[in-house]
Structures are given as structure tokens and as C-alpha cells.
Amino acid sequence: MNSTIFSLTLQQIAGRRRSLAMFGLAIVPVLVALVFQLGERLDQQEWTANVLLDDIILTIVLPLTCLILGTSVFGSEVEDGTAVYILAKPIQRRQIIIAKFAAASLVAAAVVVPATAISGLLAIQGASEDGIVIGFTIATLFGIAAYTGGFILLSVVTSRALLIGLAYVFIWEGIATELFTGTRFLSIRHYCLGIADLISSTGKQNFEAELGGAEGLVLASAAAAIALFLAVRRLQRFELTEPD
């Protein structure tokens, strides 16, 4: 990994205004958990797993955070020609992709992991945790790798990466995977649910994933690896052209 590109990417992320939206997203589940604790008590384990950690964290906070970061590390560099300043240097394309992936994943983890752990612990306070919070927290790490890799691939393939990514998050992950059970093998969210279920020891009446934990681990890892491989190949085919 190229440390210079890694550092520059972190600075690039910090300098983008839309990156501030990530911190707003991270606050939402914490506020929801606090409201839940102050309101009428429901089944804490079931609510924490299915509403807070699945419907809010895995369905909204995690993919949107990775989308913002994954599409911002390249942004429109390839399309508007500013990528030549990096690509013209004698740096392997693999090192560029890995450095940007590492930077985006690090920031995503700094946002999503604390939001998951803090909101989960707040919501389940007073009840047995049974590995629910730990399971979902670890699952988000695999989700970060898969989502970030996929959105980085989008950013080097098309200038409409953000729009396509939003459609994927809300239409595919939010709607299609709920309507058609067969789509779980093509859903990063379901990979994360499988991993969380594998680690959690809570009863099936509280939380049960539709995908096995081992399958989730393999598919999430494969999704990240394939996305990064294709992103490297795409960047290798990028041709530098002289300005008019």
C-alpha cells in the first residue's frame, strides 16, 4: 500500500462537505436507542436486533456511509482528468486502489462501529446481551469491506457512481431483498446478518438470519476481493491522454 496516497485520501475525505453527513448518520441510531430506553419497553433483544441494528444500522447507516466514502475517494477524478496526476506517476494501480480502499474503510469503521456498539448497548441495557451487539459490530466490519470495495469499483467505472449506489442501497438492499428471498445470496446486508447470527447466541424468536454465518463470511469476503480486483483491472486499462 502506498502511504502517500493513503494520507492524501484521508485529507481528501476530510475536505469534502458531504463527508459531514456520515457523522449525522452515526448519531441517528444512538438517538433512537435513547428514545427507546425512555419509552415503553418492548422485547429489548428483538427490537435491538431487528429494528435498531438491522433496519437502521445495516440497512441505512452502514451502506450510506460506505457509499459516501467509496465514491468520494476517486470522485470524478477519472472523468474530469485530474486522475492523471496520480496515474502518471510510476505507482502500481493495485497500490492506488488498496490505499484508497484502506483509507475509506478506516474512516467508515471509525463512524459505523462506534455507532453500532454504543446504540446497541444503550438499547439493550438492562437485558441480556447474548452476543447481539458484538455480532452486529463484527458483521459491520465485513460489511464495510464489501460495500466500500463495491462503491470504489463503481467510482472508477462510472461518473454516476453516487446515483447508482443510492439505487442499490434503497431499491435492491432496502426493497428487493425483502420481497424475494432468493436475493439474499446477492445482498451484502444479508451477508452481515448471517455473520451477526453466527456470533449471537440469542434465541431464534428474537433474531434469525436467512443466510448461514459461514456463507456470509465467505460471500462478504469474496465480494470485497472481487470488487477490488475489478477496480484494479479497470484502472489498469485507463489511458492517459494529452489535453487539447
CA separation for the pair 1, 9 (Å, rounded): 12
Mean pLDDT of the region 181-194: 88
Tens digits of per-residue pLDDT, 84-96? 555 556 667 788 8
Q: Which of the two residues, 199 and 3, has the higher pLDDT score?
A: 199
Statement: residue 241 has pLDDT above 50: no
CB 59 within 8 A of CB 173: yes
**In terms of pLDDT, which residue wins out, 226 or 244?**
226
Chain center to CA of 44? 25
- Model-level pTM? 0.87
Check: CB of residue 28 under 8 Å from CB of residue 56: yes
Q: 4: which 3 cell numbers?
A: 502517500
CA distance 30 to 126: 16
Tell me the pLDDT of the chain averaged across its residues: 84
Strand, helix or coil for residue 172: helix
Q: Where are the domains of the chain?
A: 3-236
What is the rounded radius of gyration, in angstroms, for the C-alpha atoms of the chain?
19
Per-residue confidence band for 134, with pLDDT thresholds at 50, 70 and 90: very high
Categorize the per-residue pLDDT at 139 as very low, low, confident or very high, splitting at 50, 70 and 90. Answer: very high
Please say whether the beta carbons of 148 and 112 come within 8 A: no
Q: What is the mean pLDDT of residues 25-47?
A: 83
Mean pLDDT of 89-106: 84
Q: What's the distance, CA 121 to chain centroid?
A: 21
Which among 232, 178, 198, 192 has a CA at the least distance from the CA of 66?
Answer: 192
Task: Please tell me which residue, 103 or 91, carries the higher pLDDT value.
Answer: 103
Residue 4 has pLDDT above 60, yes or no: yes
